[in-house]
Amino acid sequence: MSGALAEAVAADSVGATTVEDAPPVEGRSARWTSFGAWGLAAYLGSVAALVAAVLVYLHGTFVYVLDDPAIHLSVAENLVRDGTWGVEGGAFQSASSSPLWTLLLAGAAAVTPGNDHWLPLLLNVVAGVGVVLLIGRNQVAIAGRRWSDRAAVAFVVVVLLFLPGLALVGMEHTLHILLVLGAVLAVQQRADQPLGRAWVVPWGLLALASLARFETAFVAAGLALGLVVQAAAARRNLRAAVVKGAAISVAALVPVALFGLVNHALGGGYLPNSILAKGQGLGASSRAGNGSGPIDMAQRLTADPVVAGLVVVAVAYLILTWGRPAPQRLLAVTVVGATVLHAAFADMGWYERYQAYLIAVGVLMLLGVLAELPAGVQRRCLAALVVGSCLLAPNKINALVKVPMAADDMYRGQYQVARFLERYYEGQVIGTDQLGYISLFHDGPITDYAGLGDYEALQRYPDDSEDAEQMQRYLADLARERGIEVVALPSWGIDADKPPGWISVGFFESSGNEVTRVSDVFVLWATTPEAVRPLQEHLREFGRDLPPRMTLTLNEWATWKADAELQATGKGSAGS
C-alpha cells in the first residue's frame, strides 16, 4: 500500500522554486533514496530497540505504552467472531475512534492465526515505512552525503515525527500520517489543475484519512484555505480555488457524516463515544471545563513546542514570501489553519500522539522551505534543525527513553487487573472505567463507567465529576440496574468515591515513577455483601502471581462489613 501511495503522490518538482532551479533528476533520485535508506535504518532500528527493551523489562511479555490499542483489538475480535462492532459480543457500541484502523485490524486478525496482540505494532511498522519513503520521495533538502545530513534524517524520523514512539503506542496515528501526507501532496501537485478525474486521488486519500481519524477535517479546511490564499496571492483563478477548496472539504466530511448517520441509527451518537467524551467542547470534556476559548487554545498550542515552532516557521514564510512565488505557500497555510482548528477542538499530547499528523505536515513544509535556500544556508539550517529538535522536543525524547517504563505501567496496572477479571469473572457482569486490556481479556458483559465503550453511561455521566455525591449515585445506579457485583476502578485511596453499600475488598498498588499509569492504586469493589467472600478469596489466590513492584493489600474489615450488612437485612453471614 505504501509503495502505491508514494507513486500516486510523487512529483519531481515539489521542493524546487522554479523549473529552472530544480536539481537534476539523478541528484533528486539520489537524495530521496539516501533519505529513505537512512530514514528506514533509523526508524526500524529504533523500533527494534524499543520492542527489545520492553520484552527485557517485562521478562518476555510485550505490552503497549497505553492500553487504548486493546480497545480497537477488542472491537476487531468481536467483529471477526460474531459481527459485533463493540467491546461486548452482541451489543453495538461506538467504542473505536478510528473505523478504518479497526477494520484493518479485523481483516488482519481474520487472515493471521495466532496472537493478534502484535498486529497493531506490525501495521504501524508498515505505515511508518510508507511515511519515511513518502517524505524522502518528496524532499530535496537532505542529500545524505554528510554525517550531519544523516543525523538530520534520524532526528526528523525518530524525534520530530516520533514514528518509533507511535509504533509502540499501537494505534492508528502512523497510518493517519501516511494518508494525510499523501492527500496533502496530491492536492499540492494538482493545485493549478481544473477539477476532474485527476482529483479522485486526493479526494480518496482524504476520505480514507477521515476514517482513520476525524481530525482530517482540520487538514482539509487548511488545504481549502491554502488554495484560496494561493490564488489570491497570484491574483488569478480565485473562484476556481474556492470551488476546489469546497470539494476538498466535502471529500473529508462526507465519510464522517455517513459514519455519524450509521452510528446514530444503531443507537449511538453522531460521533464515536471517545470523541464525545474527550473532544474539547463536547460531552464530559466540556462539562469538565476544557473549552475552546483563546486561552485554552493557546495553552494547547504551546503544549508541544515542536507544533508551535512549525507554526512560527509557517507564518514567517508566508510573510516573507508574500507578493512573490512561494512553492510552500499551500503547505504553510495548511499548517497554520489545521493547527488552529486542532487547538480549538482537539487535544495535544497523551504520549505525543494527538498532534503527530500536524507535525508531519509541518515537517514536509519545513523540508520544502529548506530546499528553497542556497546550499550553504541549507547546511547551516540542517545543523540548526538537529539542535532545535533537541531543544524543542524534550517531551518526545523523554517519551522514547521511557517506553519500557510506560509499558511497565500498563503491565502492572490495567494488564494485571484484566488478567484477574479474565481468570475469575469470565462471562460475568463487571464494571470499570479502564476499558482497554480489561475489555480485550474479559469475555462477557462489561460496563464502562467512563463511557468510551458505553453510550448510555456516557449520557448519564455526572455533569460535575468532582461532586462526590453525583459520582457515587452514578456508580451505584448502573451497578444495581445491570447486576454488577465486582467493579475495578483506579483510585488514590481505597475509600475514594465509595457508593453506599459498596465494600472495598482489596487493592493492587504499583511502585516506581509514573509514566502513563492513571493511578498507583486499582481498587476491587464488591457492590453487594454476598460478593465479598468470593472476591476476597480470588484476590488472595491471584496475589501470589503478581509481577515485581506490584503488591496486593486486602481489606481485613471487608468480611466484617459484609456480615454486618447481611445481618442487618436478615440474610445471614458473608462467610457462611
- Rounded CA gap, 353 and 330, in Å? 24
| % pLDDT > 70, the chain | 89
Instruction: Residue 181: name the closest of 340, 357, 333 by CA.
Output: 357
DSSP, collapsed to helix, strand or coil, labels residue 546 as coil
SS3 of residue 351 by DSSP: coil
Distance CA 431, CA 185 (A): 46
Q: How many CB atoms lie within 10 A of CB 481?
A: 10
* pLDDT at position 495: 54
Maximum average pLDDT range among 114-123, 143-152, 161-170, 291-300: 161-170
Q: Tell me, what amino acid is at 413?
A: G
Classify residue 554 as left (phi > 0), alpha (psi -120 to 50) or beta. beta
Sheet arrangement for strand 550-554: 446-448, 430-432, 486-491, 521-526, 503-510, 550-554
What's the pLDDT band for 492 if we cut at 50, 70, 90?
low
Cβ distance 24 to 31 under 8 Å?
Answer: no
Which of 58-67, 108-117, 467-476 is predicted most confidently? 58-67
d(CA 175, CA 188): 20
Would you kindly state where each structural domain of the chain is located, as residue ranges?
23-401, 404-568
The amino acid at residue 260 is G
| Predicted pLDDT of residue 23 | 43
pLDDT at residue 525 in the model = 95
Sign for the CA dihedral angle at 319, 322, 325, 330 comes to: positive
Mean pLDDT computed over every residue of the chain: 87
Q: C-alpha cell of 89?
A: 459480543
Higher pLDDT, 101 or 450: 101
Instruction: Name residue, grid cell 447481611.
Output: 566
435 close to 69: Cβ distance less than 8 angstroms: no
498-540 pLDDT tens trace: 788 899 999 999 988 888 888 889 999 999 999 999 999 999 9
Q: Cα separations (Å) of 428 from 276, 400, 432, 486?
A: 28, 38, 13, 9
**Which of the four pLDDT bands, split at 50, 70 and 90, describes residue 19?**
very low
Confidence of residue 325 (pLDDT cuts 50, 70, 90): confident
CA torsion 247→249→250→251, rounded to 10°?
Answer: 90
- Tell me what pLDDT residue 497 has: 63
User: Is residue 226 pLDDT above 80, yes or no?
Assistant: yes
Would the pLDDT of 466 be above 80? no
What is the structure's pLDDT at 566?
85
For residue 9, the model assigns a pLDDT of 42
| Span 342-401, pLDDT tens digits | 999 888 888 899 999 999 999 999 999 998 888 778 888 888 877 877 888 899 999 999
CA–CA separation, 170 and 193 (whole Å): 38
Q: What are phi and psi of 13, to 5 degrees?
A: -125, 20
Among the residue ranges 242-251, 470-479, 509-518, the one predicted with the least confidence is 509-518
Most confident of 120-129, 464-473, 563-572: 120-129
- How high is the pLDDT of residue 290? 57
Range of 404-418, 446-460, 551-565 with top mean pLDDT: 404-418
Residue 25 pLDDT class (50, 70, 90 cuts): very low
Q: How far is Cα 403 from Cα 53, in angstroms, rounded to an integer?
A: 8
pLDDT band, residue 292 (cuts 50/70/90): low
- Residues sharing a CB contact under 8 Å with residue 571, sequence separation 6 or more, in sequence order: 529, 530
Supply the DSSP string of 223-283, one letter for each residue. HHHHHHHHHHHHTS-HHHHHHHHHHHHHHHHHHHHHHHHHHHHTTS-SS-HHHHHHSTTSH
Q: Alpha-carbon distance 28 to 11, whole Å? A: 11
If you average pLDDT over residues 308-329, what whole number do you get?
A: 92
CA dist 229 → 242, 331, 557 (Å): 10, 11, 69
Q: Given this model, what pLDDT does residue 224 score?
A: 97
pLDDT confidence of residue 21: 39
Weakest mean pLDDT among 112-121, 225-234, 423-432: 112-121
Residue 463 pLDDT level (bands cut at 50, 70, 90): confident
